[in-house]
């Protein structure tokens, strides 16, 4: 992580570079990153029948490690490195966790972390990413997210008023205050449920989170159904886009090289996987909040936003039990709608990326095979739809695009 400036960053220099805009950007990023995505993590835990203690441990391991990674990387590179958990990975786990015992899923988390770490530490990240058809990767994400998004709109038939209220709050928020749209949805839903409908407000005692160890049980089913798809989803849906955000913001490979960024986040995921860490990575949407000029006019001082994001995330990890207790106390339908609306943008991006006219018709058709397979939720030979989506999509891509060499 070579930097043209001195490697040593003193406390006095940090104080000198401090700014209210960088702090504000970090707060906005935290608020935007925890509303809907946290609801998705809770849903994944519920789908896997995790206990409250296991769910708390999962959230603790995620928040603490990506907070630590962001803090260290921002300090060492003097670049606003914003990290997060893999939201597409959490969505994937909503359908994948019920198919395997939790100990086998933990082994899958270990495998996913190890695969990404080996790719990162070897310096082969760019090579691997270039070999994966971009249309297939986009379709994989879109297919996983699409089925989940559909479930959001099925709530129209069970609680029409709540669904429509949250939907229109989201649309108005996207129109006038896009960064806070999901947070506004959460607040509106809570006001309706606890205020208008009179539901009991969850009692949330303040306490520190306690990690819970689960010994991994390595099985073929867990590795193929959880580990390998999770690694691919995290690499293509999060790490690759996280690097792209940094490059688009003007931070080149000398300032923020991919190797240490990918390696550290995946290593921390790997060693904390037994506590429920299914994967941390570079952030994309929340990163854009901290890497642009709104964070600081001077790009060299935006790293302050990265430091603050790391500190806030570590603190939230320490009180993960409070967050879990609150979200578990919310009506399940509110969580479903909140999580689904938070993914609309990601679903749109995935659909657009694989169906764009910039790709050849054959590439788009192969990607469609991946999308339809993943969206179907099919299970064959105890292997889930994500696995078959990758296999069938890559087979279709090869058949439709292969040309003989003369």
- pLDDT at residue 292 tops 90: no
Q: What is the mean pLDDT of the chain?
A: 85
Are 113 and 273 in contact by the 8 Å Cβ rule? The answer is yes
**DSSP code at position 202:** P
Whole-number pLDDT of residue 81:
94
- pLDDT at residue 46 tops 50: yes
Residue 151: exposure state from Cβ atoms within 10 A (0-12, 13-18, ≥19)? middle
Higher per-residue pLDDT: 4 or 318: 318
Whole-number pLDDT of residue 226:
93
**For residue 250, what are its two tokens?**
């003007």
Are 385 and 140 in contact by the 8 Å Cβ rule? The answer is no
Higher per-residue pLDDT: 276 or 358: 276
Q: pLDDT-derived band of residue 405, with 50, 70 and 90 as boundaries?
A: very low
Higher per-residue pLDDT: 196 or 72: 72
Distance between CA 210 and CA 120 in Å, rounded?
30
Q: Is residue 399 part of a domain?
A: no
Tens of pLDDT along 114-164? 999 999 999 888 777 777 787 887 788 788 778 777 877 877 777 788 889
Whole-number pLDDT of residue 7:
59
- The residues near 121 (Cβ < 8 Å, ≥ 6 apart) are 259, 263
**For residue 112, what are its two tokens?**
């996913």
Distance between CA 283 and CA 87 in Å, rounded?
10
Distance between CA 362 and CA 398 in Å, rounded?
10
Q: Is residue 363 part of a domain?
A: no
Q: Is residue 389 part of a domain?
A: no
Angle in degrees, 0-180, between the axes of helices 134-154 and 87-96, rounded to the nearest 10: 60
Q: Is residue 256 part of a domain?
A: yes
Mean pLDDT of 221-237: 88
Distance between CA 34 and CA 208 in Å, rounded?
18
**DSSP code at position 383:** B
H-type alpha helices, 78-209: 87-96, 102-121, 125-131, 134-154, 160-176, 181-190
DSSP string, 329-373: TS-HHHHHHHHHHHTHHHHHHHHHHHH-TTS-HHHHHHHHHHHHH
- The share of the chain scoring above pLDDT 90, in percent, equals 34
Distance between CA 378 and CA 84 in Å, rounded?
29
Are 88 and 279 in contact by the 8 Å Cβ rule? The answer is no
Q: Is residue 382 part of a domain?
A: no
End-to-end CA distance of the chain: 44
Tens of pLDDT along 206-227? 889 999 999 999 999 999 999 9
Residue 232: domain span: 17-358
Q: pLDDT-derived band of residue 285, with 50, 70 and 90 as boundaries?
A: low
Contacts 24+ apart (CB under 8 A), 297-302: 299/249, 299/250, 299/251, 300/5, 300/78, 301/17, 301/19, 301/22, 302/22, 302/25, 302/79, 302/80
Whole-number pLDDT of residue 403:
64
- pLDDT at residue 112 tops 80: yes
Tens of pLDDT along 153-195? 877 777 788 889 989 998 998 888 876 787 788 889 888 888 8
Mean pLDDT of 41-59: 93
Q: Is residue 395 part of a domain?
A: no
- Only one residue has tokens 């054959």, namely 362
Whole-number pLDDT of residue 12:
86
Whole-number pLDDT of residue 406:
39
The alpha carbon dihedral of 137, 139, 141, 144 has a sign of negative
Tens of pLDDT along 369-388? 999 998 887 777 766 777 78
Mean pLDDT of 282-297: 79
**For residue 133, what are its two tokens?**
């058809």
Q: pLDDT-derived band of residue 35, with 50, 70 and 90 as boundaries?
A: low
Higher per-residue pLDDT: 152 or 282: 282
CB-CB neighbours of 150 under 10 Å: 12
Mean pLDDT of 79-97: 90
Q: Is residue 263 part of a domain?
A: yes
Higher per-residue pLDDT: 299 or 318: 318
Distance between CA 131 and CA 52 in Å, rounded?
40
Q: How many domains does the chain have?
A: 1
- The residues near 363 (Cβ < 8 Å, ≥ 6 apart) are 133, 135, 397, 400, 401
Higher per-residue pLDDT: 186 or 52: 52
HSE of 209, CA atoms in CB hemisphere, 13 A: 29
CA proximity to 243, closest of 356, 90, 125: 125
Whole-number pLDDT of residue 377:
76
Distance between CA 45 and CA 328 in Å, rounded?
10
């Amino acid at each position: 992580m070579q930097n043209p400036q001195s490697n040593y960053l003193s406390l006095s220099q940090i104080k000198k570079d401090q700014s209210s805009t960088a702090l504000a950007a970090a707060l906005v990023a935290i608020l935007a990153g925890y509303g809907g995505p946290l609801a998705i993590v809770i849903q994944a835990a519920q789908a896997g029948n995790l206990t409250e203690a296991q769910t708390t441990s999962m959230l603790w391991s995620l928040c603490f490690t990506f907070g630590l990674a962001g803090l260290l990387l921002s300090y060492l590179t003097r670049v606003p490195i914003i990290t997060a958990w893999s939201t597409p990975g959490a969505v994937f786990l909503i359908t994948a966790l019920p198919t395997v015992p939790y100990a086998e899923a933990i082994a899958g988390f270990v495998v996913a972390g190890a695969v990404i770490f080996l790719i990162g530490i070897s310096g082969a990240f760019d090579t691997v990413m270039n070999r994966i058809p971009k249309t297939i990767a986009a379709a994989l994400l879109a297919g996983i997210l699409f089925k989940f998004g559909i479930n959001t709109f099925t709530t129209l038939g069970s609680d029409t008023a709540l669904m429509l209220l949250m939907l229109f709050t989201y649309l108005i928020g996207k129109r006038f205050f896009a960064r806070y749209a999901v947070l506004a949805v959460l607040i509106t839903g809570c006001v309706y449920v606890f205020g208008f409908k009179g539901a009991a407000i969850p009692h949330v005692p303040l306490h520190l989170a306690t990690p819970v160890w689960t010994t991994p049980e390595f099985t073929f089913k867990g590795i193929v159904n959880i580990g390998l798809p999770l690694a691919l989803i995290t690499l293509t849906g999060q790490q690759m886009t996280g690097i792209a955000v940094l490059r688009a913001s003007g931070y080149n490979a000398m300032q923020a090289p991919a190797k240490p960024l990918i390696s550290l986040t995946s290593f921390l995921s790997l060693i904390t996987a037994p506590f429920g860490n299914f994967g941390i990575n570079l952030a994309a949407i929340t990163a854009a909040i901290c890497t642009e000029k709104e964070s600081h006019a001077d790009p060299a001082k935006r790293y302050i936003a990265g430091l603050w994001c790391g500190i806030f995330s570590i603190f939230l990890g320490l009180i993960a039990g409070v967050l879990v207790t609150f979200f578990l106390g919310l009506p399940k339908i509110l969580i479903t709608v909140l999580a689904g609306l938070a993914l609309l943008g990601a679903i749109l991006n995935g659909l657009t990326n694989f169906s764009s006219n910039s790709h050849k018709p054959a590439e788009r058709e192969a990607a469609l095979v991946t999308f339809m397979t993943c969206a179907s939720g099919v299970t064959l030979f105890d292997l889930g739809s994500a696995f078959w989506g990758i296999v069938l999509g890559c087979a279709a891509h090869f058949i439709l695009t292969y040309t003989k060499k003369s």
